[in-house]
Chain A
């Protein structure tokens, strides 16, 4: 069987597993409730009087993902190791990277599905005014890419440990770094600390998902931003494969 077929089979199984447990439904409901609450109550969608979603809706996504994506990703490898199915998976005639990619894609599609369920917000804003739907679309793409980056980081932490809880906590901390690196108070603090090393501040802030997500929110599809998210994903999945291999050699 070719790699594509293998990846598809793995992804299909993983997706099926999501929906055979209540986790998927609970996740989607919580994600939608959070989105609704923050968009309309905290974000002041109506008070703004703008036909736009960036300040009221997409603004919160980096923070929702901080907790929700590690919750989706924590079981990916930790569960395989705990139950012992990793032994089955890795003795099948498939390459480890195919398994890693397949499982990642399934979870990423699942996050995409949850994100797609926020469509009533788009309908609402279109009903009330005439927003730039192109901007909304690129912001959705950016949001999904950002979720993918978080998810890939969760893959690493999930491969490190058998315990889903440990995986979740480490993953939240790692993702928090990805946000805070571009958080204005943190940038100011860094600038104060490293007076003469602007380049260091630049390097750290360039790792921030928020700065890369901003472009998408404004409707700008910058290849550097896309490249950033994709490279985080590829690098994190590669790291996952190294970790899984290390477990087996030791």
Chain B
């Protein structure tokens, strides 16, 4: 649905976006991750035609965004980062304008407004002026605007920013549901959202894509992937560490003592190694194991190790 090739954007001497390429198909939800200033918003602004790229192309549903902007932009719904809305109008007036400028008239327009008002829980503020709304409502008003024409492609720049936990949950569910029939790109720096809503994630750093894969693939890059954590009692921490440290598949062992118990984590030599659990189990004879679990890998740790390679792994605690 949307295809990005070698996108570059320079501001003066700074290369804000430096040769980004990816595609998103219908049915995919792409999470766009990266530290602040990595180029997420700039990329999204180029995808939606707000900023012209310095070089590179964006193709939307077969239309070149630079050559046929109108046809391409018709297919896109966009929620900008600041979630702007005309402050001098009511929510209903604003949505009415959004529907009309997208070519909806009469019954179709009213039906579209009703649909997004329900999806975004705007009923209670429908006739309130936008500048009197709380941040969450304003955000949802702008979100409603982006889906009013039921677009094939949704570009959402931090769609859950400023929402309370319940609203965040609702919006994630909504993105996930809509993602079945649309191509969605959304940026976030909340890593749980990658799990909650994405089928694929891209991490960008300093204008370049550093990782592009499914959340599972991303997690497997973590040193936590396949790590085994167990809690044992009645044994000294030193003995536990010593014994587990000799396991063949183990790379490193970290432990903490809490009263009489020892909580210990064994990290695998190769992330995601399934043998580790078996090998750890084999040496626990005679211990009182109260809890044992295999970790799936931690996205935050992957994120840090990729975007800040110098500091990663320093704060690892079991």
Residues of A within 8 A of B (CB): 1, 5-6, 9-10, 12-13, 16-17, 20-21, 83-85, 87-88, 90-95, 248-250
Known contacts A88-B78, A90-B49; A83/B101 CB under 8 A:
no
- What A residues does B80 contact at CB under 8 A? 84, 87-88, 91
- What A residues does B97 contact at CB under 8 A? 9, 12-13
Partner of A250, one of B11, B50, B100: B11
Residues of B within 8 A of A (CB): 11, 45, 48-52, 69-71, 73-74, 76, 78, 80, 82, 84-90, 93, 97, 100-103, 129, 142, 145
**Could you jot down 11 A-B contacts, CB within 8 Å?**
A6-B101, A9-B100, A13-B93, A16-B93, A83-B87, A87-B80, A88-B78, A88-B80, A90-B50, A91-B48, A249-B51
Determine which residue in A9, A17, A92, A248 has the highest number of CB atoms from chain B within 10 A of its CB, and name it. A92
Q: B90: nearest residue on chain A (CB-CB)? A: A20
Could you tell me if A92 and B101 are in contact, using CB atoms closer than 8 angstroms?
yes
- What A residues does B102 contact at CB under 8 A? 1, 92-93
Q: How far is the CA of A17 from the CA of B88 in the complex (A)?
A: 6
Could you tell me if A85 and B86 are in contact, using CB atoms closer than 8 angstroms?
yes
Could you tell me if A91 and B93 are in contact, using CB atoms closer than 8 angstroms?
no
Could you tell me if B84 and A20 are in contact, using CB atoms closer than 8 angstroms?
no
- What B residues does A87 contact at CB under 8 A? 45, 50, 80, 82, 84
Q: How far is the CA of A84 from the CA of B139 in the complex (A)?
A: 13
- What B residues does A91 contact at CB under 8 A? 48-50, 73, 76, 78, 80
Q: How far is the CA of A95 from the CA of B87 in the complex (A)?
A: 23
Q: Smallest Cβ distance from B4 to chain A, in angstroms?
A: 16
Q: Smallest Cβ distance from A11 to chain B, in angstroms?
A: 11
Q: B97: nearest residue on chain A (CB-CB)? A: A13
Q: Smallest Cβ distance from B247 to chain A, in angstroms?
A: 55
Could you tell me if B89 and A16 are in contact, using CB atoms closer than 8 angstroms?
yes
Could you tell me if A10 and B101 are in contact, using CB atoms closer than 8 angstroms?
yes
- What A residues does B70 contact at CB under 8 A? 93-95
Q: A19: nearest residue on chain B (CB-CB)? A: B88
Q: How far is the CA of A17 from the CA of B85 in the complex (A)?
A: 12
Q: How far is the CA of A6 from the CA of B192 in the complex (A)?
A: 41
- What A residues does B45 contact at CB under 8 A? 87
- What B residues does A248 contact at CB under 8 A? 50-52
Could you tell me if B73 and A93 are in contact, using CB atoms closer than 8 angstroms?
yes
Q: A75: nearest residue on chain B (CB-CB)? A: B88
